Amino acid sequence: MYIFRSSTGTFTIGVDITVPGGYELCIGGMWLGTYETPEKAAEAVCLRCTGWLDWDRGDGTEEAPGGLEEWERLE
């Protein structure tokens, strides 16, 4: 599982058990979407196209990690 803590909430990326080979993006435990790779989920956060309007339409003063390697990884 990967974690990014923002002022809007905590984003997580983990295996989506309902979609074989899929990865789910959540904020505060709420599902936002399923992606083919964890990198694509992280990219959605970076590009502010997550479906979470507080983040997507935020003022842009807070930057998201540019790639998954910058997210915190939990084992």
pLDDT in tens, 11-62: 999 999 999 999 999 999 999 999 999 999 999 999 999 999 999 998 878 8
Total domains present in the chain: 1
pLDDT at 60: 76
Q: What residues have CB less than 8 Å from 7, skipping those under 6 apart?
A: 62
State which residues form the domain around 54. 2-73
- Model pTM score: 0.93
pLDDT at 58: 86
Torsion 36-1-27-17 (CA) sign:
positive
